[in-house]
Structure 1
Amino acid sequence: MSTQPPRTRLMLVTPPVLDPGAISFRLMQAFAGGDVAAVLLRLAPGDERSLTERVKALAPSVQAQNVALVVEASAQVASRGGADGVHITEGIEAIAEARSSLRQERIIGVGGLRSRHDAMDAGEAGVDYVMFGEPRPDGSLPPLPAVVERASWWAEIFETPCIAYAPDAASVPALVETGAEFLALGEWLFGDDVDIRAAVGAADAAITEFAARKGTR
């Protein structure tokens, strides 16, 4: 029996979405590039009904590709929109609230973690993943070495999966080396000047190369 850790998989993090049709086309291009496990859907501002309708419009096409759709929104929007889960950035207190309103099989992930202690509290609260390195509320990014250190520490010690957020293509190799279960490709992936299929393929190739060196299947 193999004792090697599972191969890192990709999550795609969208820019704030207003037009589900446009982002759906780009996602289908991305899925053709490599092994994508999940999409973290970020939504442009709107009322709860309009947000829910955007999730409803996008969920079937994503899920038809065997890709999970996680929404950075309220638990109600995620549930009513048919998403597979919710991504929480409002703090530890919001985890229990989300768990009480979502069925047990839905994913609850957490980001916006400011310290190791916050991450451990989230793990103890029973989340399905923790994310390190995503943009702060003001749009700034934590330093890449700090993200590498945090993801490496978590992946080595804890069973709860972690996601390392890649702010650009150049950061992908270093984050793959952390052994994080998932690598999140940020909204840079959706830029007009980016060949999204090729970029996903390059990230997938970096994962494959690392897995080969480690003997991961």
Structure 2
Amino acid sequence: MTTNSCQLYLISPLDVGGDFPAKLEEALAAAPVAAFQFRVKGVDQHEAARLAAPLQAICAAQNTAFIVNDDMALAKRLGADGVHLGQGDGDPREARRLLGPDAQIGVTCHDSRHFAMEAGEAGADYVAFGAFFPTTTKDVEHHPEPEILTWWQGLFELPCVAIGGITPDNAQVLIDAGADFLAVSSAVWANPEGAAAAVLQFDKLLAG
């Protein structure tokens, strides 16, 4: 995931059953999406793999990277494009050994410059900072300022992802600060006009 301008990175809702595959298909067809992160909790690997299969196929058809949240073993089983690791989910070096040289490995760094530099040294492909805004998707303790994105861009080649409560209304400050990717969940999946409309809104914003 390398880029000169900011791109959209979708994160799944926790419930990806039911009509969600159709929703994802609409969203990815609306405008280019760089990556989709498969994030489910509290299901075993077999069930997670079953839920992931149709979504992974949709991503492949739209040339969107399919990234597994937290679980290196599941990423390996699925042949996913990569894995996103929280601070307690293992070492990027271990993920690289398991998933190979072409896997995209991302690391959550919260508001920590130290964590981000460590992740870069360990061979991560991108670092994620956040939550920049209040979010209902998960409990959040860390609230970095957009300036951390500018600091990172000034020192490192590695792409950075901004995450946390991002909407089309508040995203501009993060784009201006230097985010390579905006990681978005509820602003797309809970949009009253539909996921495709939300992706189009973001696309318009990212096109400048």
Counterpart contact for 1:155–1:179, Cα < 8 Å: yes
Question: Which blocks of at least 5 consecutive residues in structure 1 are unaligned?
Answer: 210-217
Answer with 134-143 or 90-99: which moved more.
Answer: 134-143
Structure 1 residues 96 and 16, CA, compared in 2 at 3 Å: closer, same or farther?
same
Q: Following the alignment from structure 1 to structure 2, what is the Cα–Cα distance between the partners of residues 171 and 142?
A: 18
Counterpart contact for 2:67–2:83, Cα < 8 Å: yes
- Equivalent of 1:12 in 1, 10, 13: 10
Q: Following the alignment from structure 1 to structure 2, what is the Cα–Cα distance between the partners of residues 137 and 34?
A: 23
Displacement of 1:78 in angstroms is 0.9
Q: Following the alignment from structure 2 to structure 1, what is the Cα–Cα distance between the partners of residues 31 and 191?
A: 20
Structure 1 residues 33 and 174, CA, compared in 2 at 3 Å: closer, same or farther?
farther
- Equivalent of 2:36 in 27, 35, 39: 39
Q: Following the alignment from structure 2 to structure 1, what is the Cα–Cα distance between the partners of residues 25 and 43?
A: 25
Structure 1 residues 114 and 173, CA, compared in 2 at 3 Å: closer, same or farther?
closer
The residue type paired with residue 129 of structure 1 is Y
- 1:61-117 Cα offsets, whole Å, 9 max, x none, are 111100001010311101212311100003485222212211211111111434111
Question: Which blocks of at least 5 consecutive residues in structure 2 are unaligned?
Answer: none
- 1:171-196 Cα offsets, whole Å, 9 max, x none, are 21111112221111123321162432
Residue 154 (structure 2) aligns with = 156
Q: Following the alignment from structure 1 to structure 2, what is the Cα–Cα distance between the partners of residues 49 and 95?
A: 24
Answer with 123-132 or 167-176: which moved more.
Answer: 167-176
Residue 186 (structure 1) aligns with = 185
Q: In structure 1, the residue corresponding to 2:9 is in which secondary structure?
A: strand
Are positions 1:69 and 2:85 aligned together? Answer: no
Percent identity between the two aligned chains: 33
- 1:110-142 Cα offsets, whole Å, 9 max, x none, are 114341111100011110100111469961364
Are positions 1:57 and 2:54 aligned together? Answer: yes
Residue 199 (structure 1) aligns with = 198
Taking only aligned residues, the RMSD between alpha carbons, in angstroms, comes to 2.3
Structure 1 residues 188 and 45, CA, compared in 2 at 3 Å: closer, same or farther?
farther
Q: Following the alignment from structure 1 to structure 2, what is the Cα–Cα distance between the partners of residues 198 and 137?
A: 20
The two structures have a TM-score, normalised by structure 1, of 0.83
Counterpart contact for 1:89–1:110, Cα < 8 Å: yes
Counterpart contact for 2:76–2:99, Cα < 8 Å: yes
Counterpart contact for 1:41–1:69, Cα < 8 Å: yes
- The list of structure 1 runs, each at least 4 consecutive aligned residues, that deviate by more than 6 angstroms after superposition, is none
Residue 213 (structure 1) aligns with = none
Q: In structure 2, the residue corresponding to 1:36 is in which secondary structure?
A: coil
Q: Superposition pairs for residues 95-134 of structure 1, below 5 Å?
A: 95-134=92-131
Structure 1 residues 188 and 83, CA, compared in 2 at 3 Å: closer, same or farther?
same
Q: Following the alignment from structure 1 to structure 2, what is the Cα–Cα distance between the partners of residues 136 and 98?
A: 29
The residue type paired with residue 160 of structure 2 is C
